[in-house]
A and B are shown apart, each in its own frame.
Chain A
Amino acid sequence: ETGVTQTPRHLVMGMTNKKSLKCEQHLGHNAMYWYKQSAKKPLELMFVYNFKEQTENNSVPSRFSPECPNSSHLFLHLHTLQPEDSALYLCASSQDTPRTGPYEQYFGPGTRLTVT
């Protein structure tokens, strides 16, 4: 599946670093999502963007900062992370609009983040 790509695939960063995760969807969708997947926990929805507007922020700490410059690109800026933030970060997209759907979400392969 190459409809949703994520870079980098693996990232190791120290607690004082600043890094960014990138997601790109080639499916013509208008909604994009960030999820956090930790071991032994359900997927946690972090942020939702519809037509570049953030429509959901699930009480995510401010050390995670999303950016959606257009409907095809989504970033997650990271700074001063904690070891417990180590996880697989998944990006997804869908053809949702606020008045229709929900349609299925298409996922990228994820970025495996390790905070040391």
Chain B
Amino acid sequence: AQSVTQLGSHVSVSEGALVLLRCNYSSSVPPYLFWYVQYPNQGLQLLLKYTSAATLVKGINGFEAEFKKSETSFHLTKPSAHMSDAAEYFCAVSERINQGGKLIFGQGTELSVKP
């Protein structure tokens, strides 16, 4: 069965510092992987997705993530945090078989950015 684990329910960084949000997945087959962001009182917005092309995936707002099969990880990074990055971030996985679009989400990581 698929699963997603996000290490750290809350991460705090200073403005301008590196952002690193961790995601590990469990899947019996090569997965599709996604990162979503949720701002207060809004729905989820796709940041980036991995679908087996390049292992380093670039997304919106300067975020990127690297797929590491050997570590079953898909960590999200941004070189320099901005105050507007404060939000909740969700990692999600879906297997590469007939799943009808079913995504399994991690529990989320709340990112705080200090001035």
Contact = CB atoms under 8 A, between A and B. Distances in A.
Interface residues of B, number: 22
Given A109-B41, A109-B43, A104 B102 contact: no
Interface of B, secondary structure class, is: loop
Contacts of A34: none
A1 interface: yes
Interface string B63-101: 000000000000000000000000000100010001111
Which of B36, B43, B105 has the largest number of chain A CB atoms within 10 A?
Answer: B43
Contact of A43 (B42, B46, B105): B105
Contacts of A107: 36, 43-45
A40 B6 CA distance: 13
Interface residues of A, number: 31
A104 B46 contact: yes
A102 B99 contact: yes
B102 A56 contact: yes
B107 interface: yes
B25 interface: no
Contacts, number: 67
Contacts of B7: none
B105 A105 contact: no
Contact of A1 (B43, B99, B100, B101): B43
Contacts of A43: 44, 90, 105
Contacts of B43: 1, 4, 6, 90, 92, 107-110
A27 B43 CA distance: 16
B106 A31 contact: no
B101 A33 contact: yes
B100 A48 contact: yes
A108 B98 CA distance: 25
Interface of B: 32, 34, 36, 41-46, 49, 90, 94, 98-103, 105-108
